[in-house]
Amino acid sequence: MPHLSKVHLNQLFIVRALALAAFAVGLLYLATTTSDSDVITESTTALVVLATITAISAWYFREKQAVTDLQLSQQIAVDILGWSFLMYLTGGANNPFISYLLVPVIISAAVLHQKFTAVMALAALLAYTLLLHYHLPFSPLSPAMSHTNVHGPAGNTHILGMWFNFAFSAALVVLVVSRMAHAMRQREKRAAELRENNLRNEQIHAIATMAATTAHELGTPLNTLSLYADELKHLCGNTPEVESLLNAMEERLDQCGQITRKLASRAEIDKLRVQSSQLAKPWLEGVIAQWKKKRPEAHIALQTDEQSQDASIKIDQTLAPAIENLLNNALEAGSELIEVTLSCYGKEIQIAIRDYGSGIPSEILTQIGKTVIQDSEKGLGIGLMLTHATINNHGGSLLHHQPADGGTLTTVILPRERC
């Protein structure tokens, strides 16, 4: 699906084509009613040139998924310059099509930032002002008493009134319509983000329900395994090696039992959401130490800056598993070394996790955190979606970057309480 900016560009080309077609129909009519063939020929040539520019532009942008505001503004400027030249050949401000110069300004207000709209409005106003004084005479549109030929105070007042009307309309577009369009775009953006968050929350709720159900189902087999381990200890208790293994097995089974009970308990889930204020550095050191116990093969280095020494963040118990998930992804990417950097910038705490592994494919990178990635081979979908949700619930954000020298740089941004 093309980006919205590409849709706007295509619509601009359609509007330009319709305007050129209307102007061509007008020229065709005048060609049958006037003997001024030179002006008709020149105007037709200019019309063909502008149509050719439109076709070349459409061909150039045909495969681009998105365009920048600068590129859009350049195409709108082509409209203003091209139309101004057509007006210059056909009577200037006497031509009734002169009012079309306001259309590019309106389009700019609808799709571009206000500063671009202001530039387009000034360009259109300058073109209109010049066309009042500089244009080629065109007899069908320049009767003896046209407003540019009226002499005396009445003629001057009429000319000033026409110019002021155009200037006032352009100012209204810049100051009012542009702000209204910006507000509508922001509202649509918030609505899209809300829909995306609702979809993600529905998926997370489904995962949580599935996890609770699975935890209940695992309870019986775990209890059975604990009984088997206890029976084996009685049967093989005289063998120290076997007894040691069975003790380790019982510890793991107890740990699994505690995890399943937490998953199945609504009270435990509510307890996980209670936030508390903690110093960022010792908290992160503790998270890394706990993770190292689970993944002793990992080589990890932690760096902190001076500003983060006394920085505090407000967290709950779900944030540590989110950081551990990012560390697991870095390790599973095949990185021999994982670098973690804790920094404080203004009102933000940043935790940067840098690995030198295989990186994240570009087609998956754009989907991370938005939904479950069905074709993910290493479980990036659910884990990172839950991690994104956890960090968002803390008022933060998660950024992924592919450095030029390979690997992945993942940055967790959290609001700080004090630095």
* 383-413: pLDDT as tens digits: 777 788 788 888 888 888 888 888 889 999 9
Residues 6+ away with beta carbon under 8 Å from 233: 243, 246, 247
Determine the 3-state secondary structure of 405 from DSSP: coil
CATH number of 198-272: 1.10.287
Q: Which amino acid is at 98?
A: I
* 295-317: pLDDT as tens digits: 888 889 999 888 888 888 888 87
Beta 408-418 vs 348-355: how paired, if at all? Answer: antiparallel
The answer to whether the CB of 414 falls within 8 A of the CB of 395 is yes
Where do the CATH 1.10.287 domains begin and end in the chain? 198-272
What pTM, to 2 d.p., does this model score? Answer: 0.56
CATH number, domain 276-418, options 3.40.50.1220, 3.30.1490.20, 3.30.565.10, 3.90.1310.10: 3.30.565.10
Distance of alpha carbon 176 from alpha carbon 161, whole angstroms? 22
Listing DSSP states for 38-76 in one string gives: HHHHHHHHHHHHHHHHHHHHHHHTTT-S---HHHHHHHH
- Mean pLDDT, rounded, for 152-181: 78
Q: Which of 127-141, 155-169, 232-246 has the highest mean pLDDT?
A: 127-141
Tokens for 217, please give them: 């189902």
- Asked if residue 76 has pLDDT above 90, the reply is yes
Closest C-alpha among 271, 280, 286 to residue 317: 271
Per-residue pLDDT at 363: 58
- Asked if residue 263 has pLDDT above 90, the reply is no
Dihedral of CA atoms 356, 399, 388, 296 in degrees, nearest 10, equals 20
Per-residue pLDDT at 79: 92
* Average of per-residue pLDDT values in the chain: 80
Residue 155 or residue 327, greater confidence: 327
Long-range pairs of 124-131 with CB within 8 A, sequence gap ≥ 24: 124/80, 124/166, 124/170, 125/166, 125/167, 125/170, 127/80, 127/81, 127/84, 127/87, 127/101, 128/93, 128/98, 128/101, 128/163, 128/166, 129/163, 130/84, 131/84, 131/87, 131/88, 131/92, 131/93, 131/98
Per-residue pLDDT at 144: 44
Where do the CATH 3.30.565.10 domains begin and end in the chain? 276-418
- Asked if residue 267 has pLDDT above 60, the reply is no
